[in-house]
Structure 1
């Protein structure tokens, strides 16, 4: 698929940043389970923390294909960083698309500059694949200080929140009537709100540099004008934003798979067995051929979904196909990269070990592979 000169230029700049700034610290931050804040500041300097924000608020307002390219290249450096960036962009997208002028002016210019970091709070301990089952509740009440207007009092718990500890702004989904699945509503909440507590940081298989926590809301009071959507319109807003987000996850899967393939190719050319490089062995060559084919198929599906969205098409099925295929391909390619490395691939001395661990999450977050197949089948049958 042909890219414009501007898209190619952005891709090249981000690839250079990924290679020179992200990859060199990826192993260390994974071992220490710390997020590279200097890298985040670098992304902000490149204006990437404002990708989904309109230009009038200081953002880049890029098209979906450019957004896909950026996600791919950042993930080539480290999936943990790409995940943090994409979640921040989910939050800015919600405010940009559903906020009123005052809300946009209040939040977006600073978020464009990377601080505060955004979080997206939808999942709950018992409501992951079916967010309509959430129990977090936002009750509308009179203001506690006796002033004009109303407030919402929020109680509940959100789980698997990327940027949970780092964030300064949380886009929250809660029910205005706990018993009514149609009452899900979207709010924007400052992280320092009284009663908002950050839970424990998850100790994960992969994505270990990424900040993943729970968020606990205990009588958190916010002004009514912090509501982003009309009551009951939050779930459709979430699904709309996540459809585009799935293209981002597919793009990240492609970037990770490209990284794993590059590592495997270099190792195969250097590693010798039976007095020759293992790249000369037909079994290894066939593995590399399969990896490359899966990678390019995933890339084409992903870019096609992005192109379709840019052209105004409905992309629910295309986004789910891309996310499903690309994430499964990332796992397969990373697995084969470890296999090509042999015993060394099972050690932390080589990046493929981390890539293999990181790859699995792409089949889970923002809708599992099973959910993506359900979406594809539903669209196909309808």
Structure 2
């Protein structure tokens, strides 16, 4: 494992000594410092990337193949993330991609985060979503809404070793996220939280939790407030779900029984939790689009070569028109999902509106992931149906894309609202 990590680091040629010297906290977290700001060299087309972004892609791809790939089936069968994989993600600087160097991060771009999520998903969507939630939700909330004191305290921990979890959903509040029942009551300089959370990603391994609770139910969603808490404060894992797909990614229910959180741990101010959640989930949807994009590409890349190795009726099955046309159509659909995803990412980086584009990217990418991964099983025939090849795992993993971070119907509703606003 350590030797593989060293090989990945040596391959990452853009981690120069000059960059490393600027980050005394950890040189390994400086993988893409030079892609922070836009320049005249910034790509003008959606399928082009800066040299730094391309080198990042190559580095993460090597890391995924060398370090993650050998453990994918084992983790899926055990339904547990290998702690060494989590440790390796931190050592590679992939858990603080946009976080400043001052706080131990790589100080890179949002598109760099999307690139990393995509490349990880080509090998294992479970690892990808862990990295995604940690970066695009947890880290972003603290970077965007945290006070300087909160950023100084929590961001270095999240960049270096402590996994984060975003706790919004509840048994009675899924798509209607703001119907949550968790309550927070002031008690001196603390808040006492009571309630439960459900479908919480990363929660089994996480140490840091962003918890949404209502401090004043009479105000409805305007009473929702975001708190930061740690597992050792008394957060209880009530149930670890057994899932169809992304089985190595933990999804748990949490019990919050008289959880005492210091008032200084409120993020963004009392009653601002709804605003935080709405804005962050728009960004998170681009991350899920990238995960589904990578998944589709991973399934395609595993299945297609086999169709040119297996021969029937004297020729490779992939050369038959019926199959070759299916693969051509799948390639087009993957490319469409790619352009939608990176269009949303670039718009977000440039400070433009991106809610519509994020919804479109997530909806299309999740549809393409299911379609391509399902077809990939058929292309490989009986071999594709076995767990040995790993092709069927992509199909199992793909289904969640239409559910979390806003269901496909919620995405369509969001897109429809923009259409109505434009044309009605």
Say yes or no: TM over 0.5: yes
Q: TM-score, normalised by structure 1?
A: 0.95
> Secondary structure in 1 aligned to 2:232?
coil
Unaligned stretches of 5+ in structure 2? 1-46
Q: Which residue in 2 is equivalent to 1:345? A: 384
User: 2:72 aligned to 17, 26, 50, which one?
Assistant: 26
Q: Residue by residue, what CA displacement relative to the aligned partner does 1:170-218 show, whole Å, maximum 9, x if unpaired?
A: 0111111234222111110011113x21111100000111111111100
Task: Compute the displacement of 1:169 (Å).
Answer: 0.5
2:110 is the counterpart of 1:71: no
The aligned counterpart of 1:185 is 225
- State the Cα distance separating 1:268 from its structure 2 match: 0.4
Give, in angstroms, the shift of residue 232 of structure 1.
1.4
Tell me if the contact between 2:221 and 2:274 (Cα under 8 Å) persists in the aligned partners: no
Which of residues 240, 251, 254 in structure 2 aligns to 1:201? Answer: 240
68, 83, 93: which one aligns with 1:37: 83
In the other structure, the counterpart of 2:95 is 49
Contact kept? 2:98, 2:110, Cα under 8 Å: no
Q: How many residues align?
A: 373
Q: Is the 8 A contact 1:49 1:88 kept in 2?
A: yes
Matched, 1:371 2:385: no
How far 1:274 moved relative to its partner? Answer: 1.8
Matching residue of 2:129? 83
Distance 1:94 1:263 in 2: 36
- Following superposition, the deviation at residue 344 of structure 1 comes to 2.1
CA contact (8 A) 1:18 1:73 kept: yes
Range 50-59 or range 227-236, more displaced = 50-59
Describe how 1:151-170 pairs up with structure 2 within 5 A. 151-170=190-209
The answer to which structure, 1 or 2, has the higher relative contact order (CA under 8 A, 6+ apart) is 1
Distance 2:123 2:317 in 1: 26
Q: Does structure 2 retain, via aligned residues, the 8 Å contact 1:49–1:112?
A: yes
What's the offset of the Cα at 1:162?
Answer: 1.0
The alignment status of 1:112 with 2:162, answered yes or no, reads: no
Map residues 1-382 of structure 1 onto 2, 5 A cutoff. 1-89=47-135, 90-113=137-160, 115-142=161-188, 150-179=189-218, 180-194=220-234, 196-382=235-421
Distance in 2, matches of 1:342 and 1:40, equals 34
Q: Deviations over 1:138-180 (max 9, x none)?
A: 11122xxxxxxx2100000000111111000001111112342
CA distance in 2, matches of 1:43, 1:220: 30
SS in structure 2 opposite 1:50?
A: coil
How far 1:293 moved relative to its partner? 0.6
What residue number does 1:146 align with?
Answer: none
Q: When the two structures are superposed, what TM-score results if normalisation uses the length of structure 2?
A: 0.86
Judge conservation of contact 2:292–2:369 (CA < 8 Å) in 1.
yes
Q: For each residue in 1:315-360, what CA deviation from the matched residue of structure 2 results, as whole angstroms up to 9, or x when unmatched?
A: 0000110010011100000010011112222211221110110011
Secondary structure of 1:170's counterpart equals strand
* Cα drift, residue 227 of structure 1: 0.4
Q: Is the 8 A contact 1:26 1:78 kept in 2?
A: yes
8 Å contact kept, 2:227–2:261: no
- Residues of 2 paired with 1:20 and 1:291: CA distance? 27
Question: Aligned-residue CA RMSD in angstroms?
Answer: 1.1
Whether contact under 8 Å (1:119, 1:164) holds in the other structure is yes
**Contact 1:132-1:182 at 8 Å conserved across structures:** no
